[in-house]
Structure 1
Amino acid sequence: MSAVIVTGTDTGIGKTVFSAGLVRALSASYWKPVQAGLEEETDSEAVARLSGREVLPEAYRLRLPASPHLAAEAEGVEITPDRLALPQVAGPLVVEGAGGLMVPLTRRLLYVQVIAGWDAPVVLCCRTALGTINHSLLSLVALRAAGCRVAGVVFIGDEMADSRQVICEIGKVRDLGRLPLLPEVTPATLAEGFAGIDVMAIREVL
């Protein structure tokens, strides 16, 4: 099995849409270890709809749309690292984290610590809006401090060429392309938008 981890600089930046496109491009399976919030379409349901690929059941499904540590506490659930071990599947596996790297899964366990334990290449999704340089570089520092292998960064949003250049030069990281904001997210529009992503470079690190 070869896995790639998709994380981001923040929540709500398009990690799930990117993950769906990557799952489809790699003919991979998908896993979202912790889902917090069940009232609307979950990330796993969105990826299944957009990719048509295998989606593995979450290790934790929590009703409250909040930080995983708080959502788990609200239900009296304890998130334990042993249940977050990477599942064994045939072929590539795309794993999507929750929110940003410093999101707490418990009051003692951060998501970046779990990602480091997986020992798999990480793709960092970054906004292209104002503030992305600071958020992206801080996230890269956090990943490397934890010992994670960074495959590269993906930008999501309108083009901001200077920000991309600065992040990649100062952060010493590979630019894996940009996924534009899609006015309507469908399998067809996602495939079209994914033309700007360097899928081959991601394949190389698997």
Structure 2
Amino acid sequence: MKALFVAGTGTDLGKTHVACALLAAARSRGLTVEAFKPVVSGFDPHAPDDSDPARLARALGRPEAWAEVSPRRYRAPLAPNLAARLEGDTLRMDDLVADCRDWLSTRDVELALIEGAGGVMSPMTDEATNLDLMAALGLPVLLVAGSYLGTASHLLTALEVVRARGLTIAAIVVSENLDAPDLDQTLALLRAFEQQAPILSAPRAATWDADALVDTLLA
């Protein structure tokens, strides 16, 4: 099984957009896939179809499975620890790590994705960040960045801290932002500074084909 952690250099950059495209492309090849987002905030229980868990479930071909994809769901669009506190809950890193490990141990698929919440250094609990969860799991990282002005600094900073924790970058995907600098120029700039991991692009078009990403990750 190929298991990856999908992380972002920031919030709302397109992690789920990339994950869903990757899952769909893998399924189109006949590969078995699974996805897990251990915690999600900003979840509206009255409109679950608009949520990240629902999008991932649809990409899996099991639209009814959104609750299984994200077992810890909170309403407030805040950092998970703050959103949980508003509902009388306390998130603990040991619990999140256990959730992910238990989930991984019961998967029998060719590609499994665990998607974080927010950016690499976004708080997950009162004492730990997304990076702490990533380090505890030790999975190769699929790092998603934006194409906005300033993304080079954010991406290079994220690469430094992720690698400092001993994690491997499997690939980098630059998810296109609207009203951003030319995407090809941004890719060229980033490739000049990062030459270890492959850098691919993810246009915002709904019909984006992630075949090249599948090839890169499963090579």
Give the Cα–Cα distance (whole angstroms) in 2 for the partners of residues 59 and 148 of structure 1. 26
One-letter amino acid matched to 1:61? R
Tell me whether 1:62 sits opposite 2:81 in the alignment.
no
TM alignment of 1:46-195, pairs within 5 A: 46-53=55-62, 56-84=68-96, 85=98, 86=100, 87=103, 88=105, 89-91=107-109, 92-157=111-176, 159-182=182-205, 185=206, 189=207, 193-195=208-210
Q: Given the superposition, is the C-alpha separation of residues 100 and 70 from structure 1 closer, same or farther in structure 2, using an over 3 Å criterion?
A: same
Q: Given the superposition, is the C-alpha separation of residues 17 and 51 from structure 1 closer, same or farther in structure 2, using an over 3 Å criterion?
A: farther
Give the Cα–Cα distance (whole angstroms) in 1 for the partners of residues 158 and 86 of structure 2. 28
**Residues 35 and 60, structure 2, Cα contact 8 Å, conserved in 1:** no
Larger mean CA deviation between 18-27 and 96-105 belongs to 18-27
Give the Cα–Cα distance (whole angstroms) in 1 for the partners of residues 108 and 60 of structure 2. 17
SS of structure 2 residue aligned to 1:165:
helix
1:113-160: CA deviation from partner (whole Å, max 9, x where unpaired): 110111111011111121111111111112112221111211111753
Larger mean CA deviation between 76-85 and 52-61 belongs to 52-61
Q: Given the superposition, is the C-alpha separation of residues 137 and 109 from structure 1 closer, same or farther in structure 2, using an over 3 Å criterion?
A: same
SS of structure 2 residue aligned to 1:3:
strand
SS of structure 2 residue aligned to 1:95:
strand
TM-score (norm 2): 0.81
Alignment size in residue pairs: 196
1:97-126: CA deviation from partner (whole Å, max 9, x where unpaired): 111011111221111011011111101111
TM alignment of 1:11-50, pairs within 5 A: 11-27=11-27, 28-39=33-44, 40=47, 41-50=50-59
SS of structure 2 residue aligned to 1:197:
helix
Q: CA RMSD in A?
A: 2.0
Identity %: 30
TM-score (norm 1): 0.86
TM-aligned CA deviation for residue 51 of structure 1? 4.2
SS of structure 2 residue aligned to 1:99:
coil
One-letter amino acid matched to 1:65? P
Q: Given the superposition, is the C-alpha separation of residues 195 and 111 from structure 1 closer, same or farther in structure 2, using an over 3 Å criterion?
A: closer
One-letter amino acid matched to 2:57? A
Give the Cα–Cα distance (whole angstroms) in 2 for the partners of residues 50 and 3 of structure 1. 17
**Residues 32 and 58, structure 1, Cα contact 8 Å, conserved in 2:** yes
Larger mean CA deviation between 193-202 and 127-136 belongs to 193-202
Give the Cα–Cα distance (whole angstroms) in 1 for the partners of residues 184 and 211 of structure 2. 14
Larger mean CA deviation between 35-44 and 51-60 belongs to 51-60
**Residues 34 and 60, structure 2, Cα contact 8 Å, conserved in 1:** no
Give the Cα–Cα distance (whole angstroms) in 1 for the partners of residues 93 and 126 of structure 2. 13
**Residues 176 and 197, structure 1, Cα contact 8 Å, conserved in 2:** no
1:32-59: CA deviation from partner (whole Å, max 9, x where unpaired): 1111012252211012224415663324
One-letter amino acid matched to 2:55? A
SS of structure 2 residue aligned to 1:13:
coil
Show structure 1 runs of 5+ residues with no match. Answer: none
Give the Cα–Cα distance (whole angstroms) in 1 for the partners of residues 60 and 201 of structure 2. 19
